[in-house]
Amino acid sequence: MTGGGTGIGRAVAAALVKQGLDVVITGRREDMLVAAAAEIGARAVVFDAADPAQVHAAAAELPERVDVLVNNAGGNVARRRPAPEGLADVRELWLANFEANVLTAVLVTTALQPRLADDARVVTIGSIAARRGSGSYGAAKAAIEAWTADLAFALGGRGITVNVVSPGVTEETEFFGGTLSEDRRRKLVGNPANGRTGTPADVAAVVIFLTSPEAGHVTGQVIGVNGGAGLGR
């Protein structure tokens, strides 16, 4: 699983370990990744999933047979950068969000595709932003949905399912970098049916279902985990 060191990724990895899987978590920050792996009982492989050369080099350390692949690397690059001041900055920001959120999933999945077992499960973490906007980040997450639909048909003949889990506002993660004010929180959360934000555990529970044998007829789908803030109809 990519991006497995913190937040949603760590919660999903820990839940998969509890299911009895031999879990490998990947990411760029070695100290954090290794510590997380030790704490949850996984194995850490450090590389940048957006770098083709690093993905290729890391392949030797990744499992020869993959039953479950979860693509979680990514985030809104715009939150860590000043507002663009010209067209060159706009271009760089859009490319950076595409690289962080789309290419990480595409490169790792493509590299591991020959290793996917029959009836394997591929899940990519999307975002409610794909349907609500949020500039280059939302556009990147929307691209993930289109890619997932295509991949589901490419791999479906082998019983492999490919889905997106799309969280709404999820706290207890690094996504907002400690910058989420109460006013901004209220605006982002909107009016969920259950009156709260999400947690990494909420997302992990849905991933666990989608990676189970019982989910073999669920593929090409976008599953929202947002408390009703984004209605799936």
Contact between 5 and 17 under an 8 Å Cβ cutoff? The reply is no
- Cα 206 from chain centre: 13
Burial class from Cβ neighbours inside 10 Å (0-12, 13-18, 19+) for residue 63 reads middle
Pairing mode, strands 222-225 and 161-167: parallel
Q: Helix or strand or coil: residue 222?
A: strand
Contact between 211 and 17 under an 8 Å Cβ cutoff? The reply is no
Q: How many residues are listed for the chain in this entry? A: 233
For every residue of 156-180, DSSP letters joined together read: GGGT-EEEEEEE-SB-SSSTTTT--
Q: Which candidate in 137, 151, 165, 211 is catalytic?
A: 137
Clarify whether 137 is annotated catalytic. yes
Contact between 93 and 81 under an 8 Å Cβ cutoff? The reply is yes
Going by the DSSP 8-state scheme, the letter that residue 77 receives in this structure is G
Kindly tell me the sign of the dihedral angle through the C-alpha atoms of 174, 231, 101, 123.
Answer: positive
Q: Which of 23, 117, 115 is CA-nearest to residue 60?
A: 115
Residues β-bridged to residue 27: 46
Q: Which residues are catalytic?
A: 137
